[in-house]
Structure 1
Amino acid sequence: MAHLLVIESWVEGTGRLLPETLKRLGHEYTFVTRNETHYNDENTKEIHPIFLNAKCTHVLETNNVEELIHSLKELHSKEKFDGVLTICDYYIDTVAQVAKALKLPQAFSDNVSNERHKHYVREAIETAGLPNAKFFVTRSWLETKESADKLGYPLIVKPSDLASSAFVKLVHSEAELKQAFEDLETFTHNFRGQAREPLWLLEEYLSGEEVSVEAVTYQGKTTVIGITDKSVTGAPYFIEDGHMFPAALNSTLVKKIQEYVVKVLKAVGHNHGISHTEIKITREGLRVIEINPRPGGNYIAELIEHVTGINMLDVHVNLATNVEPDLSSAENKKGSAAIKFLVPPSKGKLKTLQDKNSLDSNEKILRWTMKDVCGLEVDDPIDNACYLGHVIAQDLEGLRAREIAETALAKLKLEYA
């Protein structure tokens, strides 16, 4: 049994799965956060699993790495940690620095700081001579405007250092570009209170199907677990509203995607850890959208386990404790599993969500969860934080899990006050 140090977490998705994973594997953990209330739902009295399963919780300033390392050295001398991890994008680099300072194993690559910044990934792919989206990195409005004119509209504006598709926007004109620029300019700190890097990443708009490649790298060797499909709500924002594993692709294309991603991971220096690489299949060929050096969010880890038996969070924990993960069942895929999210169409005050009973009577729905929407005020949906709930479906015989999930969710009726 190991005693792990967990520094911050996601609130939903893998944030709820990790505590139970650690408990099931027989490990204990100490949780460190700067803000306990971040994990509370003001609409319920539920205690988040990250607190329920922790050996203890310490409130420390996780946004000041130097101060955090000083505090954790004292804590480590008393409690003796065996490894350090997180699953929250905003603290991956923090974990890497803490692990180095405390001489502890961790689940990320040596180059994880660069992997976390989208413009560094673009530059590394370009340097390696691999197929890449056209892009510009800018730091002022004049530079942004001039770069957009060179790139041409429509184009994508995105931050380099955020997650969950936040502030990723498709723009068609200089006026829309100016608005997107100003939106990011005024967003000086991310959702965890960390100062943002003041730059804008402009990319050509890539048309085509989007998938993600789930892989594990151990001591420099990468094993591709499979490919997940993705659906998004569409412009101007790109909110992920569904996934299926494995994606319904022909074997030739699957091989091309896998080979491309392995080359890209090598180019960016990814030598250890799980990777969730988003790929666009365009007419011109394969292009990277971004690389995430951690398990895929939005319960993708759960979908993978239903199909392969491989628990990606188990793998993540193993990597953080220097244990080689068993990936032998990656080739033994059985059927498909899918998730579909309920996204509110617009802002407003919600009244009811009808026909939830239909989910209970559907034997192909493995589980579902929905918020109590009565009287709930919602904002315009602009990123993945807007979800009101989700359903997870399975097709043991083939690749119809997405269709099953979408049909089930379509029967629900969301009403505004």
Structure 2
Amino acid sequence: MTRRVLVLIEGNRTGSSQLYAQAGQRLGLHPITLCADPGQYDYLAGGKFEAIRVDTDDLAALIRECSLLQSTYDIAGITGAREMFYATVGNLCRHFDLPGPDAAAIERCCDKSTQRQLLGDAGVPIPAYRVAKNATEIEDSAAQIGYPVIVKPSIGSGSTGVRLCRNADELAEHTNYLLGGGHVWRSSPRILVEEFVQGPFYSTNIFGKEVIGVAAADFGRPPHFIFREFTFPAQLGDEEHERIADVSLRCLRALGLGWGPTNIEIRWTKVGPVVIEVNPRLAGTPDPQLIGLAYGVDPIVEHIKLAIGDEVDLKRKQSYTAAARFLVPERDGTLNRISGDIQAAALPGVAEVKFYTESNNAIVPKGDDRDWIGHVIAASPSHSQTKAILQRAVESMSWSIAPFPAADG
């Protein structure tokens, strides 16, 4: 009997891609990851999961590689966890006549300026914004909107290049970073200058056209937007939940989405929900783990089942509260000690303790999710109990960072 293969396009450092590979195995599939550099993903080391080196920016090369695999295996489905390759996933699925997302809709959504325009045209509440290509246009846009403003690349993920600029000096500094060589552009620079919308932050998780649930999230200190904690489900009243769900589903219609998972980021303001961003794929760590712990629904398993043409089951099996805390150092230097992680993992209610880096590695804050060095996840039948478990686990761990040696001269 021909072996059924799940093709995964690229991976990530926080663990979602490993969860896809593990879920594929549980479904009786053989996961094979196609990636430019297998060595950058820890879970591919040791030979537990198969990987093939290929230029994942080259669609033709990916088609050739999948065609070679097809001569030996039965490709049951193609998917992936990385947003920047999810349109590629859609194109591959279409080429091989497999279930998959609409690549054109994914590409439109991943361009934040196009996304903003489509949402605005559909009457979805969004922040005031301007699109700029150079320093003068950035400065003029900020003046028109009024400080403080959010400045970020039109294409990107993980909060890379995103900053709150509270005055002209901070705007000039970040503009120089974005346009002066500090930021890596995959295409011609286009920058969004947006109104800073304030209020509690929520994240809507949707599968197909069904809202699975809404998470609450908190950030670290500005001017960057680094997630520090997630709680699922969010503590919302019925009216708040209904309004968030309604505006989230309006986003799908405006953007032509509705196949598989979508994640929508929202701020609750004085006038209600305002859409900050639509991510046309399953949210990364910790959302899949939190949904599984809270509701007994594994969105990664269900995503794979959808991708291979199997029936999806989103019915809740339980009602818990799950929460995650990201571990973020406050300074740069060399990480020379991690302790307490084993004890934290053994605490009742702690579901996962994971570090993304090791001792003796350099820590250089970048102002985005690359600053995470790990996470802790906990769950229990109540919101207050889960928060207490999470705090106890975090307090039981510690790490130390040695300053970098001073440069001679």
**Aligned partners of 1:167 and 1:9: how far apart in 2?**
21
Distance in 1 between the 2:199 and 2:65 partners?
48
Which AA in structure 1 matches 2:120? E
In the alignment, the residues of structure 1 paired with residue 53 and residue 340 of structure 2 have an alpha-carbon distance, to the nearest angstrom, of 42
Deviation at 1:110, TM superposition (A): 5.4
Kindly indicate whether the alpha-carbon contact (under 8 Å) linking 1:277 and 1:291 is maintained by their aligned counterparts in 2.
yes
RMSD (Å) for aligned C-alpha atoms: 2.2
Partner of 2:218: 231
Shift in Å, 1:74: 4.5
The count of residues paired between Structure 1 and Structure 2 equals 399
Between the aligned partners of 1:214 and 1:398, the Cα distance in structure 2 is 19
**Aligned-partner SS, 2:382:** coil
SS at match of 2:60: helix
Match of 1:207 in 2: 198
**AA of the residue aligned to 1:324:** E
Residue deviations 1:186-218, cap 9 Å, x none? Answer: 25646xxxx23410011100111111001101x
1:10 maps to: 12
CA deviations over 1:296-325 (Å, ceiling 9, x no partner): 112211111111111000111022122331
In the TM superposition, residue 182 of structure 1 has moved relative to its aligned partner by 2.5
Q: Is the 8 A contact 2:11 2:17 kept in 1?
A: yes
Match of 1:43 in 2: none
Letter in 1 for 2:94: K
Question: In structure 2, which of residues 72, 94, 98 is the aligned counterpart of residue 100 of structure 1?
Answer: 94
CA distance in 1, matches of 2:33, 2:356: 26
- How far the C-alpha of 1:107 sits from its partner, in A, is 4.6
One-letter code of the match for 1:286? P
1:157 aligns with 2:159: no
Offset of residue 406 of structure 1: 2.9
Give, in angstroms, the shift of residue 123 of structure 1: 0.7
- Secondary structure of 2:75's counterpart equals coil
Q: Secondary structure at the match of 1:62?
A: coil
Report sequence identity in percent. Answer: 25
Q: How does 1:398-413 map to 2 (within 5 A)?
A: 398-413=383-398
Q: Can you give the 5+ residue segments of structure 2 that lack an aligned partner in the other structure?
A: 403-409
Q: How does 1:291-370 map to 2 (within 5 A)?
A: 291-329=278-316, 333-356=318-341, 358-360=343-345, 362-370=347-355
Q: 1:184 aligns with which of 175, 178, 185?
A: 178
Could you say if the C-alpha distance between residues 375 and 8 of structure 1 is closer, same or farther in structure 2, counting changes exceeding 3 Å?
closer
Report what 1:126 is aligned to.
120
1:102, CA displacement in angstroms? 2.6
Amino acid at match of 1:8: E
State which drifts further: 271-280 or 355-364.
355-364
Which residue type is aligned with residue 6 of structure 1? L
- The SS at the match of 1:224 is strand
Aligned partner (choices 378, 382, 388) of residue 397 of structure 1: 382
**Corresponding residue of 1:52:** 48
Measure, in 2, the Cα distance between the counterparts of 1:364 and 1:75: 42
Q: Which amino acid aligns with 2:365?
A: D
TM-score by length of 2: 0.90
CA drift of 1:343 comes to: 0.6
Aligned to 2:251: 264
| CA pair 361-319 structure 1, distance change in 2 beyond 3 A | closer
**1:289 aligned to 2:276?**
yes
Equivalent-residue separation in structure 1 for 2:115 and 2:229 (angstroms): 25
The correspondence for 2:373, drawn from 388, 394, 403, is 388
TM-score for the superposition, normalised by structure 1: 0.89
Preserved CA contact (<8 Å) 2:207 2:258: no
Partner of 2:360: 375
- 1:152-188 superposed Cα distances (whole Å, 9 cap, x missing partner): 1100011122111111100012222122222222256
Structure 2: distance between partners of 1:373 and 1:32: 25
2 CA distance for matches of 1:99 and 1:372?
34
Partner of 1:24: 26
Secondary structure, aligned partner of 1:382: coil
* Corresponding residue of 1:69: 63
Structure 1 residue 358 displacement after superposition: 4.6
Pairing of 1:138-149 with structure 2 (within 5 A): 138-149=132-143
The equivalent residue for 1:136 is: 130
